[in-house]
């Protein structure tokens, strides 16, 4: 993982299946684990498309949720870090 997480450009692990709708589910067949995302986590998941840095995802989240970017930067970094630890997001 990059030393500066804000500059990291995360993308979805292609081995993870997703169902995005009223309920967003991720399935990691390799680990045999199923994850359910809440609404804000779903938005972050969708924005982690391999084209945006963590900082850019945080700015998009701040715009979407009309919240301070400083708060969203910490939340987004925590989300990405956890998803990378689980192997759901990769660099």
Task: Identify the pLDDT of residue 1.
Answer: 41
Per-residue model confidence as pLDDT tens digits over 35-77: 999 999 999 999 999 999 999 999 999 999 999 999 899 999 9
Q: What is the pTM of this model?
A: 0.91
3-state secondary structure the chain: CCCCHHHCCCEECCCEEEECCCCEEEEECCCCEEEEECHHHHHHHHHCECCCCHHHHHHHHHHHHCCCHHHHHHHHHHHHHHHHHCCCEEC
């Amino acid at each position: 993982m990059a030393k500066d997480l804000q500059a990291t450009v995360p993308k979805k692990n292609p081995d993870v299946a997703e169902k995005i709708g009223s309920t967003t589910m991720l399935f990691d067949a390799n680990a045999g684990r199923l994850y359910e995302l809440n609404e804000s986590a779903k938005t972050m998941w969708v924005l982690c498309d391999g084209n945006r840095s963590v900082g850019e995802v945080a700015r998009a989240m701040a715009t979407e949720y009309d919240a301070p970017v400083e708060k969203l930067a910490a939340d987004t970094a925590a989300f990405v870090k956890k998803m990378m630890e689980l192997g759901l997001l990769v660099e």
